[in-house]
Amino acid sequence: MRAKTFVGGIFPHGKKEITADVETIIAEAPPVVLLPLSQHIGAPSKPIVDKGQRVLVGEKIGEAGGFVSAPVHSSVSGVVKGFEEVSGYGRCVVIENDYTDEFFSQVEVPRDPRTLSVEDLRKIVFEAGIVGLGGAAFPSHVKFAPPENKRIDFLILNGSECEPFLTADYRLMLEHPRMVVAGMKYIMKMVGAPAGCIGIEDNKERAIRALSDAAADMENIAVVPLKEKYPQGSEKQIIQVCTGREVPSGGLPMDIGVVVSNIGTAYAVTEAVEKGRPLIERIVTVSGSGICNPGNFKVRIGTLVGELVKQAGGYSGKISKIIIGGPMMGKTVYTDLIPVTKGTSGILAFCSDEVAAEQPKACVRCAKCVNVCPISLEPTTIAKYAEQGKWQDAKDRFVFDCIECGCCTYVCPAGIPLVQHIRNAKNILKEQAAKQQSNSSS
């Protein structure tokens, strides 16, 4: 089958060969975990443990703080040492590991999955604290319960993993294809989708074969090869490529009968449904020139980034940049004393001589940013309005349609931080809207 693709996008060097053929390593449990009460979009979870209390592996330590929220569970057995505010992560529960790995008695294997109703499955997903593991971290029990007036025709399982360096989903597809496909079937049942497809970039031939074999006896599930291009894994792009449908401006995938989920999320659903395991660990790619032994690690949620880097052989030299996630859409951090969360797909470290400090220049009107934008926006125009504080003009130019993929910044010969300006405009507009709503309700 010929690989499908979308208009726009870029072709950055993937650097995936560094870790793609490295089997997943089970990371050692750390001496201490920091578990943020907010590891998801929506309201933070509410702590239900006290300082000095002993907790077990898989025990709930934070209950959902609202409908759009998710529980948090302990990833180790040990004693709650207290609570700590961590910049960018909010309030965290600090647990000292006692290394007994005693599992919480109420975490049990559910009954035969074939007998579970839709509501049973959604409850299991909710209680397991599962969120989208592709980066957005949206509570899965909400996504998997579309409104009654939204008929879902397709479930798309996103296996493109188009960010450079990252290979965590790739290893999952190779090492656990049955569990990935099983999770997809459970999700299809929850959303009511009669058909589904798994989108995988064509440079991942082994993964395409593994998932094709795992889904061979399922006529309603197809594996769709996608052209290797960034951001092929973006929600709107993968929908358009796999179904021919287009998400309208300001709309959601379910508005056109589609739900998109991630490979890691499907695996987590199977872990919860078939094994009774809450989301307390995930696979993380640790890579970059600053890492001695790059690889993929199955790591306990709450493990400090620095602790995981040690298990990857430590740093290889003087580090100038650490990124959580991928290099295109990830977040630069200034310390490794921060925790791995449910949404941490990668940890990248780069040496000083690799990171160039360039001063942005004036726009040369080359339109390269327009040509590569997968949403067909004018990034330079929106960024200029943002620089000038013309927030309504930025909004009128569809600033909220921007997916912040970074393609425009990547190709800009002037080195203008276009995404930074666009993100700032979004934040200002959201603050203005919230203030107006507050004033109107008071």
Question: Does residue 344 carry a pLDDT above 80?
Answer: yes
Q: How many CB atoms lie within 10 A of CB 254?
A: 18
pLDDT tens digit sequence for 97-129: 999 999 887 656 667 888 999 999 999 999 999
Strand extents, DSSP E, 65-161: 72-73, 78-86, 90-97, 154-158
d(CA 305, CA 313) in angstroms, rounded, equals 13
Spell out the domains of the chain, with CATH numbers in brackets. 16-23+115-275 (3.40.50.11540), 25-97 (2.40.50), 281-354 (3.10.20.600), 368-435 (no CATH)
Say what the pLDDT of residue 4 is.
79
Find residue 86's DSSP bridge partners: 90
Mean pLDDT of the chain: 94
Give 314's Cβ-side CA count (13 Å radius).
3
Q: Binning pLDDT at 50, 70 and 90, where does residue 85 land?
A: very high
pLDDT tens digit sequence for 170-219: 999 999 999 999 999 999 999 999 999 999 999 999 999 999 999 999 99
d(CA 384, CA 386) in angstroms, rounded, equals 5
Question: Does residue 442 carry a pLDDT above 70?
Answer: no
Q: Binning pLDDT at 50, 70 and 90, where does residue 358 land?
A: low
Strand order through the sheet with 78-86? 32-36, 90-97, 78-86, 54-55
d(CA 401, CA 382) in angstroms, rounded, equals 11
Residues across the chain: 442
Question: Does residue 439 carry a pLDDT above 90?
Answer: no
Say what the pLDDT of residue 400 is.
96
Say what the pLDDT of residue 405 is.
95
Furthest-apart CA atoms within the chain: distance in Å? 64
The proportion of the chain whose per-residue pLDDT surpasses 70, expressed as a percent, equals 97
From 120, 11, 73, 70, select the one nearest 374 (Cα to Cα).
Answer: 11
From 189, 190, 210, select the one nearest 198 (Cα to Cα).
Answer: 210
| Strand (E) or helix (H) holding 396 | helix 391-396
